[in-house]
Structure 1
Amino acid sequence: MKSSIRTAALLCSAVTATAVLTACGNSTADSATSSSEKISVTNCDREVTLPKTAERIVSLYPSMTELLIQLGAADRIVGQSNTDLSPPSPELADQFAAVPVLSTGVPAKEALLDARPDLIVSDGEYWFDGDRLQSMDELRDLGIPIFVNSGYCHKAVTEGRIDDVWSDIDGLGALTGTSDEAATLLADGKKSLAETEASVAGKEPVPTVMVQVSEGQSYALARGLYSSVLEAA
């Protein structure tokens, strides 16, 4: 699964021209409640609600850290993890290096809580199994909301599409108060995708298989995001 996430991150970043992934799926920003100024977005069939824009963010995957940097929220990332899984994009390397590292792999449960996050941004739900990290229900009960790359919500990995990325960027823009920056990323991503589609229009598709090797096992990747990337290119 770790390599699957990394593959998806690299592929989506190439298509969106943001060099990052928020990737693919069902996140939508809702209007803030006027009386309390709460911010609420729908993500992976859950409501992610903050009393105000996020001030202490923990990112659990490098591509999510890069996205937050691109959105202009770098100074609010109080911790990142799994930094050994993917190197940062060269143009973001300096800002990436300035973000505190909780762990080069999966952070300890205690380290996650010690960072006192008011928002956790994750590449998928699989970290929250109660073993590696607290379950999503446990963190919810502690008042810590989680925003997940919706290409890896539940079983959405077989259903995600490239253009689902737009709703995730919009949702994170709302939660971090960076909607203007999110709009710029959306415009750039849509332009890049349109240019890619135009460049291959009418050309004969090249028979392609996408494979990965993870922990000594080989996998062929199909359906969902992977097929969508290959079809677009």
Structure 2
Amino acid sequence: MNPTSHRSRTTRGTLLAGLGALTLMALTACGSGVTEPTGGGSPSAGGTEVVLTNCGRQVTVTGTPEAIVGLSPAQTELLLRLGLADRMVGQAQTATAPLPEDLRAQAADIPVLSEDTPPSREVLLRAAPDFVVAPTAYEFTAEQGFASLEQLQEAGVAAYVATGGCADRRMTGTVEDLFTDLANLGEALDAEEAAADLTEEARATLDDVAERVAGRDPLTVAQVYLEGNTLSAIGAGIEYDIIRRAGGANVFGPDDSEFAEFFAAQITPETLAERNPEALVFTVHDAAHEQATRDYLTRTFPDVEAVRAGRLIALSGSDVYPGTLGNVTAVRQVAAGLYPDAF
């Protein structure tokens, strides 16, 4: 598979979420800190400014952001769950995944900056944001016509990349990275109470899943993605961790040569058949894509144990984006598909 060719809506939910982060500068994981204001801009309500260490760069947030943009539906959902709808001046890539039904009314009045790709530099800056949140560094690729991190900094815009979408983290990211993002965004956006509530709820879900699958002999799982008749497997990153936390044993992993440099790789049907997983997890962007994938897997692998047992588990592509509450949803959904008697 040539990952650089995957710029379409159909691949955005799974593969492209990590592309830009792997091809940009070497970046590191995220943390945060608070310093006294250094001047230039009004201080936050507490009289301090928040300094986040995000992907190896310092992001200084002075005052409380009042013009926020989510650069993917996953980040838009997170911002809305933090109670920030009235402070959002833009949402992007809206056609790549639907928002949860309970949030659609809140999002109805938030300007749409782009549908299938990140917004251009001109469109994003025209929205006059003071804080921008993205799933990966790809959303800031200047070569694609998007506003770069440096350009946003020059314009006085703080830009935050989900921890799991940082360049050197995309291959090793875990569901746990979400909690780093919640802590950082809660602090930077003056939404700490809401962030704490979301963290508590998400951790409770993960703990519940862990208890339900504890002590079981893990079923073997392959996570795949279908585009046309091209089959790809996922062998690293957050997606890999989702399967592990759901009690599955990945048949593809980061130690395999195919995944030495990228978390996804094109495979042949013979390779998948040889691994003979007991369950197949696949990501989709809409109902038609789900049905097409089910039809392909059923037709191509009638003798693979996953197909024989009917363990074909579909996930929304947006739920495997870095920095989304969907990561937790996906863990529970996969676990329930693997061990339905436990739920």
**TM-score band (shorter)?**
0.7 to 0.9
Deviation digits for residues 146-183 of structure 1 (CA, Å, limit 9, x no counterpart): 10111110131111111121111010111110000000
Quote the offset at 1:26 in angstroms: 3.5
Q: Distance in 2 between the 1:153 and 1:5 partners? A: 17
Q: 2:214 — aligned with what?
A: 201
Question: 13, 38, 42: which one pairs with 1:6?
Answer: 13
Gaps of 5+ in 2: 1-5, 16-27, 247-343
Q: Distance in 1 between matches of 2:90 and 2:228?
A: 26
Partners of 2:147 and 2:35 lie apart in 1 by 28
Alpha-carbon distance in 1 for matches of 2:66, 2:78: 16
> Counterpart of 1:191 in structure 2: which amino acid?
A
**Equivalent pairs, count:** 217
Aligned counterparts of 2:14 and 2:154: Cα–Cα separation in 1: 32
Q: Residues of 2 paired with 1:215 and 1:79: CA distance? A: 32
2:88 equivalent to 1:110: no
- 2:139 counterpart residue number: 127
Structure 2 CA distance for aligned equivalents of residues 186 and 4 of structure 1: 29
Deviation at 1:76, TM superposition (A): 0.8
Conservation of the 8 A alpha-carbon contact between 2:163 and 2:180:
no
Q: Is the contact between residue 12 and residue 96 of structure 2 (CA under 8 Å) also seen in structure 1?
A: no
* Aligned counterparts, 1:1-233, within 5 A: 6-7=13-14, 26-33=29-36, 36=43, 37-105=48-116, 106-130=118-142, 131-214=144-227, 217-233=230-246
Alignment RMSD: 2.1
Deviation, structure 1 residue 6: 2.9
State the structure with bigger RCO (CA 8 A, min sep 6), 1 or 2. Answer: 1
Gaps of 5+ in 1: 9-24
Give 1:194's aligned amino acid.
D
Letter in 1 for 2:165: Y
Cα deviation 1:30-85 (Å, max 9, x = unaligned):
12426752121221122111111111011110010010011111111101110000
Structure with bigger gyration radius: 2
Percent identical: 31
Partner Cα separation in structure 1 for residue 186 and residue 228 of structure 2: 35
